[in-house]
Amino acid sequence: MGPPLAARMPADAAGTTRPMIVTHLRHRVASGLAALAAIAAFAAATAPAWGAAQRVRVSDDRFGPRTIRVHKGAKVKWRWAGSDAHNVVGKGFRSRVKTQGTFAHRFTRRGTYRYVCTLHADDGMVGRIVVR
Ligand SMILES: [Cu+2]
């Protein structure tokens, strides 16, 4: 028969068991939070932009982003960023033809609103606002 079990274990083995488990659990919680943060960051980076004030660039000759998704009641603001003249024309909203400045419209009803620059629609200068 050998020595009693306790005598064969390292002196601090029993004492370190609990802290190791706590440390492990803390690590798991931290990992979980990190994963959630990563998911949130990913969602923020890839999800359509939801929010109160959404912006679209009006450049030569495209709208960027071409499609944005907003909540009902959101205001969309187009900002001219190119050098050529453009406008923003959709059902229920129409800007002047201009080369700089902004145009804003608040979308109060759900739906998909396609719009164009009437000068360059044939060149693909089209956009879409999805209101949910
Ligand atoms: Cu244009």
- This prediction's pTM: 0.62
- Confidence bin at 84 (pLDDT 50/70/90): very high
State the pLDDT at residue 47: 46
CA of 38 from ligand 1 middle (Å) equals 38
CA of 63 from ligand 1 middle (Å) equals 9
Q: Taking all residues of the chain, what is their mean pLDDT, rounded to a whole number?
A: 78
Length of the chain: 132
The better pLDDT of the pair 36, 111 is held by 111
Give yes or no for a contact between 56 and 68, defined as CB atoms under 8 angstroms apart.
yes
CA of 68 from ligand 1 middle (Å) equals 18
Q: Which of 74, 69, 105 is nearest to 87 (CA)?
A: 105
CA of 117 from ligand 1 middle (Å) equals 5
pLDDT digits (tens, 9 = 90+) for 48-72: 445 446 999 999 999 999 999 999 9
CA of 98 from ligand 1 middle (Å) equals 9
